[in-house]
Structure 1
Amino acid sequence: MDKLLSVIIPAYNCESTIKQAIMSTGVYQSDNVEVIVVNNGSTDNTKLIVKEEALNNKNIIYRESKKGVSNARNKGIETAKGEWISFLDADDCFINYKDNKIHETLLKSKYDLLIYNYLVGQSKIDLYSMIKEVEHSKIIMKMLENPTKFLTVWGKFYRTSMIKENNIRFNKLLRYSEDSEFLIRYLLASGQIEFNESYIYKYNLSENSTVRSYNPQLVAEYEKAIKQIKIDLENYPTYKYSLSVFILMQINLIMVHNIFISNGTNRIGKLKSICKKNYVRDALNSIGLRDAKNIRLLPLLLCKYHMYIFASLIYKIRIFYNEKSIKNDKNK
């Protein structure tokens, strides 16, 4: 490998943030980092900005792909010459990159996956403190049961050889949860996982995020991802319960980011309809009153016992606090 680290940035209409993202990677401070920016159909000045940066630094590499974040990330993987790969979204950034001595950690690490803490807006997400297990299977269970915190592709460092030797790529047919599906397959192929207590990534909240806007195709797209992840895990009975929790967490996302933000009527009817689908009903049958202490499962437990009105109230409250969090972060 020519470099220690390849940072892959999918770029789509990100002229206002792409330069900050590139600069946050440490590419201007270390010759051991390469940044691969993959433009996937931008119609603004993204291409010009990245090409100008590439002229100033030979370790900034410009590539193009077909539309879609999976196509962009796969192009980045094909291009990568680093021993490690990390993914960075164009509107996010690495933080305290040099202070956290990432290079020293990567040089010494014997692990297949390094996972760091991160920020969502101004809120700290402390994954390091959440993981007490050292057994590989138990870590995967914890990650499956907490997908919104753990199953993001960013904030992590992957061995390039592990990705390429196992032919792990992003599924181009998926529009949602494609990063979770990629990471699950990587987890199944990997050996030991290391968690680091440093905060190295900032996920910037946006009111314009695609998952915060009503999309009539979102339910079908999430279902497509769920079915693929079920196939990925079908030979691993150890993760049966954790997979059920993962599926129910996806249903939460569908409700909060789709059904209950729409202006349409019969939202409770749509909730009932989704809960009657076979894959959701099977997942609901895996949980019971013992899971009531898990606040995230509470609306699904209410659905299991046909208390849909109370479940809908919880979803509406969650949407209210999500919107409030975005506005508060924007005003800071």
Structure 2
Amino acid sequence: MLLSVIIPVYNGGKTIISAIRSTGAYLNNQIEVIVVNNGSTDNTETLVKKEGESNKNIIYTESEKGVSNARNKGIEIAKGDWITFLDADDFLLDLNNELMDLLQNIEEGLIVGNYLVGKSTIDLYSMTKNKKNNSSIVNQMLKNPTKYMTVWGKFYRNDLIKKENIRFDNQLKYSEDSEFLIRYILLCKQVRFININVYNYTLSKNSTVRSYNPQLIYEYEKAIFQIKKDLNKNLEYENSFKVFILMQFNLMMVHNVFIKNNKESIAKLKELCKKDYMNNALNIVKLKDIFTPRLLPLLLCKYHFYVFAAGIYKLRVLQNNRNTN
């Protein structure tokens, strides 16, 4: 078996069949699809089992709740030389002969493709400055986590995952894919970027990070500290990791603090900025970053212009709401 596609699913009855059929498993018997149901209460199980009746390479299994548990279950039973991950409301693109030939013949340990978000292409191939140097790649990923640090849209060597016992941390509820990717790339010899759109991300998906969760900040902080631990022996990533923290902070603000937009929001913003890990990260923001949209609110926080930073975060919440409706 050449490729295992692992699809964690929870109540994905409306999209799971489209996701399965996008894998190319009906056209290539070297592709297996492992659908891991983690607690669905809809008709997901029935649909997947029926789909599997006509193709023995469509495998249905179950796990405990949680996307990390589901992906780990898929890893346990994957037989492919390569593993890729697919969310149940997304679909794969261009698993064509060119890509399948590449999987059979390359020596690199990780393949990274471009992907679509709505009608926009995220061109990681062109964005990546130094494609031959793993340290440079990790630095660029840390500085651009929302574009790079997804577990999907990438192909991983199954033997390396099994040999090094790389699994998703089921204690993390957010950024668990970023943490998995960092641990994997630190162990693989080389990365290959390909100029092919391999994945379609559904922008309007009902993602858990798009709804209010009072535990979100705690969960993001837990992931930050774990990734710091993963990188602990690699001082060349110290500055980039601070940028990663700042980008996670932006997500905390947009997906938690300013969703409710109440009187406590600015107080919470101030409180978080005073935490040691955040205060330390803010030190890398400079006045020259005033025209950098993603750093502007952080620059305002650094100089205690919290009301203006809050205004930017409120606008971003509104923009997110428009994009996903």
TM-score, normalised with respect to structure 1: 0.95
Deviations 1:249-301, CA, capped at 9 Å, x for gaps: 00000101111111532211110111111111111123322444532111111
The answer to whether residue 111 in structure 2 is matched with residue 114 in structure 1 is: yes
1:102 match:
99
Tell me the amino acid that sits aligned with residue 182 of structure 2.
I
Deviations 1:231-258, CA, capped at 9 Å, x for gaps: 1111111000000000110000010111
The answer to whether residue 124 in structure 2 is matched with residue 127 in structure 1 is: yes
Distance 2:205 2:166 in 1: 32
The answer to whether residue 153 in structure 2 is matched with residue 151 in structure 1 is: no
- CA RMSD, Structure 1 to Structure 2 (Å): 1.2
Q: Which runs of 5+ in 2 are unaligned?
A: none
Q: CA deviation at 1:164?
A: 1.0
Distance 1:109 1:128 in 2: 17
Q: Is the 8 A contact 2:6 2:71 kept in 1?
A: yes
* 3-state SS of 1:106 partner: helix
Q: Which runs of 5+ in 1 are unaligned?
A: 328-332
Deviations 1:159-193, CA, capped at 9 Å, x for gaps: 11111111110001000000000000001111111
1:330 match:
none
2:134 match:
136
Distance 1:131 1:277 in 2: 32
Q: Of 248, 251, 270, which residue of structure 1 is paired with 2:249?
A: 251
Distance 1:322 1:155 in 2: 22
Deviations 1:296-318, CA, capped at 9 Å, x for gaps: 11111110111111111111222
Q: CA deviation at 1:24?
A: 0.2
Q: Is the 8 A contact 2:166 2:184 kept in 1?
A: yes
Distance 2:289 2:137 in 1: 19
1:164 match:
162
The answer to whether residue 45 in structure 2 is matched with residue 51 in structure 1 is: no
1:12 match:
10
Percent sequence identity over matched residues?
A: 59
Tell me the amino acid that sits aligned with residue 207 of structure 2.
S
Q: CA deviation at 1:65?
A: 0.4
Higher mean alpha-carbon deviation, 106-115 vs 75-84, is at 106-115
Q: Of 314, 319, 329, which residue of structure 1 is paired with 2:317?
A: 319
Distance 1:116 1:238 in 2: 25
* 3-state SS of 1:306 partner: coil
TM-score, normalised with respect to structure 2: 0.97
Distance 1:215 1:264 in 2: 15
Q: CA deviation at 1:132?
A: 1.7
Q: CA deviation at 1:207?
A: 5.8
The answer to whether residue 188 in structure 2 is matched with residue 218 in structure 1 is: no
Higher mean alpha-carbon deviation, 258-267 vs 150-159, is at 258-267
Distance 2:94 2:111 in 1: 17
Q: CA deviation at 1:210?
A: 1.2
Distance 2:82 2:145 in 1: 23
Map of 1:233-252 to 2, 5 A cutoff? 233-252=231-250
> Matched residue pairs, number?
324
1:260 match:
258
Map of 1:259-278 to 2, 5 A cutoff? 259-278=257-276
Distance 1:170 1:207 in 2: 22
